[in-house]
Structure 1
Amino acid sequence: MDKNVLLEVKNLTKHFQLSSNKTLRAVDDVSFYIRQGETLGLVGESGCGKSTVGRTLLQLYKPTSGVIRFAGETISDRTETKGHKAYTSQMQMIFQDPYSSLNPRMTVTDIISEGLITHRPNLAKKERQEKVMELLELVGLSRKQANRYPHEFSGGQRQRIGIARALAVEPSFIVADEPIAALDVSIQAQIVNLLMELQRQKKLTYLFIAHDLSMVKHISDRIAVMYLGQLIELASSEELYARPLHPYTEALLSAIPLPDPLQEQARERIVLQGEVPNPINPPSGCRFHTRCPKAIDICGMVTPVFTEVLPQHYVKCHLYGERGRNLDDNNKMVSV
């Protein structure tokens, strides 16, 4: 493993027991790593388990099984120890909804100060207040806004407050859980550009969870695609967009609007048939086979293996079961 790896996840599984005979398989056997200073984009349909992965990494959910290693140390459980406290100060989260994630009864100063009070209790009140002011300016807000309440801000401004709160304890890793989904399109680019600038300034590492595939490409170094609780493809941003291998990834990318009307008319739009299966009772074999236009007999019977079929390009698909046996000399898929 690369020594620059900050976060390593192996066989992460998170199931929710709904009743004595019903289990929601939110995340199943997910493995990946993120290097120091890198952004890994995580994409997929609603309900595929993206947010559950992020929350489990931060121990907001205790994993059912699997191993999470951060900065070389294994995080085994969520206990209120000094070790866990140090871990949570290094890993923070930016939430999707800038409205519900901020306490309406607290001022901006109080919201941002919470982490400082918990993790730096010896910090004098004056120093803490000055730190809050610095953070507000860092995320593009004014010191004069420090004593206002969340309802006095727009959605984009509230998300900036959420970013300042996450930065308060000086983390090295941030889970950005769809931080632009609830914002106007004109504001989304501002927030993404702010995150990228903060990453450069503070050498941050991101797990960036999102639906907007064009925005994910803009911010991410590598992109992982999830479907029904499992990772099905992982590659660099440029590689994934130029050469998607999994049929589900192809369908997702075909839905991205193109600015050129002629290109939009010329390209093939892949429309998936059927509904997303129930994660309580997922299909056998490949979980995508019930909607896959390229499914073959084995897909419904045997679970495919997450395989590196091109350099640093992994896919979980029977079409590439023998290390790229279905790729020609130009790395294009041949018929089966």
Structure 2
Amino acid sequence: MPSNEKLIEMKNLKKYFPMKQKQVLKAVDNVTMDIHKGEILSLVGESGSGKTTLGRTVSRLYHKTNGDILFGGKPVEKYSIKEFTKKVQMIFQDPQASLNPRMTVGDIIAEGIDIHKLAKTKKERMEKVYSLLEIVGLNREHANRFPHEFSGGQRQRIGIARALAVDPEVLVCDEPISALDVSIQAQVVNLLKDLQKERNLTLLFIAHDLSMVKYISDRVAVMYRGKVVELGTPEEVYNNPIHSYTKSLISAVPIADPTAKKHEKVGVDESYLRSPMGDVSEINKIPEVPELTEYEPGHFVETSFLKENKLI
């Protein structure tokens, strides 16, 4: 069960990419958000909104431009990369691209075990590999095969087994089901949900499939142009969206039941949109007011949107 303990804290987190003429692309712009221990926090938004960049920055695959990331109340810089990667593992969107085609599945999964010296003997090493394969729904015999011999869903299960090999506290799942068939998507999501309960994992689940996000999440954060614009429980965000962008996302979700009431089509109000571009002088700029305001208990909305629409 999720607790109120903050495992990961982001404070005015920025990840800017340099462009020409002292311009920067603000992929992640002043994000302040917490991830609680044992919860599944989903991050949703359209392509290019900054979801993956945020996940990779939290995982330390990208160096942050500015701001703070705290893990267990301690700045992530206080951890060595080896120490941190044992605590935070990532599951990638494309399982084929993230698995070394020249290594057997057994060696791929055991790589983390070898680096962190989690097995004393070769026999213990392989027993751990076999156990992980069975946990994710594969067979012991699969350890001697290569990634190209598996389907997309099976490769994603191998990626999950590899991430679990070091017994992490956090899994950052970067659209882990977007490249899979619909039936396989459900299997992988159920697997992640079961693992989260059994191992008390904390998940940052990045996705654009809102129906799946509603099913798996404890909280949902909506991201747009590098900013988190709304944050709350799935019930609050889906049933009572406040931000225009959240409304536009939900209105785009197809409804299978032809007798059900369709979502009202909502256009995004262009007046509050910010360009994701800026200049280098903005790197050290700290917002004068919090980016998010608690509009209702546990339901946070972008402060500037609330002010411009006279909701606060």
Do both share a fold (TM > 0.5)? yes
Structure 1 residue 149 and structure 2 residue 149: aligned? no
Distance 1:94 1:307 in 2: 31
Q: Which residue of 1 aligns with 2:81?
A: 84
Structure 1 residue 312 and structure 2 residue 298: aligned? yes
Q: Which residue of 2 aligns with 1:287?
A: none
Distance 1:227 1:56 in 2: 17
Q: Which residue of 2 aligns with 1:166?
A: 163
Q: Relative CO higher for 1 or 2, CA cutoff 8 Å, sep ≥ 6? A: 2
Shift in Å, 1:88: 1.2
CA contact (8 A) 1:6 1:35 kept: yes
Q: Which residue of 1 aligns with 2:20?
A: 19
| Matching residue's letter, 1:138 | I
Shift in Å, 1:44: 0.5
**Percent identity (aligned):** 54
Structure 1 residue 127 and structure 2 residue 124: aligned? yes
Runs of 4+ in 1 over 6 A off after TM superposition: none
Shift in Å, 1:124: 1.5
CA contact (8 A) 1:94 1:163 kept: yes
| Matching residue's letter, 1:245 | I
Q: Which residue of 2 aligns with 1:29?
A: 30
Q: Which residue of 2 aligns with 1:290?
A: none
Query: What SS does the aligned partner of 2:54 have?
Result: helix
The RMSD of aligned alpha carbons is 2.4
Q: Which residue of 2 aligns with 1:218?
A: 215
Distance 1:166 1:42 in 2: 20
Looking at secondary structure, tell me which structure has more helix per residue: 2
Q: Which residue of 2 aligns with 1:243?
A: 240
Q: TM-score, normalised by structure 2?
A: 0.90
Q: Which residue of 1 aligns with 2:283?
A: none
Shift in Å, 1:271: 4.6
Query: What SS does the aligned partner of 1:238 have?
Result: helix
CA contact (8 A) 2:170 2:201 kept: yes
Is the radius of gyration larger for structure 1 or structure 2? 1
Give the aligned length.
Answer: 300
| Matching residue's letter, 1:307 | T
CA contact (8 A) 1:96 1:177 kept: yes
| Matching residue's letter, 1:163 | I
Distance 2:276 2:310 in 1: 31
Measured against aligned partners, the alpha-carbon deviations of 1:247-302 in whole angstroms (never above 9, x if no partner) come to 100110111111221225x542225588x9763359xxxxxxxxxxxxxxxxxxx9
Distance 2:90 2:49 in 1: 19
Measured against aligned partners, the alpha-carbon deviations of 1:38-81 in whole angstroms (never above 9, x if no partner) come to 0000000101110011101111111011111111211127xxxx
| Matching residue's letter, 1:254 | S
Structure 1 residue 115 and structure 2 residue 112: aligned? yes
**Could you tell which deviates more after superposition, 244-253 or 20-29?**
20-29
| Matching residue's letter, 1:172 | E
| Matching residue's letter, 2:265 | R
User: Which residues of structure 2 form unaligned runs of 5+?
Assistant: 280-287
Shift in Å, 1:326: 3.3
Distance 1:175 1:3 in 2: 19
Q: Is the alpha carbon distance of 1:23 and 1:319 closer, same or farther for their aligned partners in structure 2, counting shifts above 3 Å?
A: closer
Work out which of the residue numbers 254, 257, 268 in structure 1 matches 2:264. Answer: 268
User: Which residues of structure 1 form unaligned runs of 5+?
Assistant: 283-301, 328-336
Q: Which residue of 2 aligns with 1:234?
A: 231
| Matching residue's letter, 1:236 | T
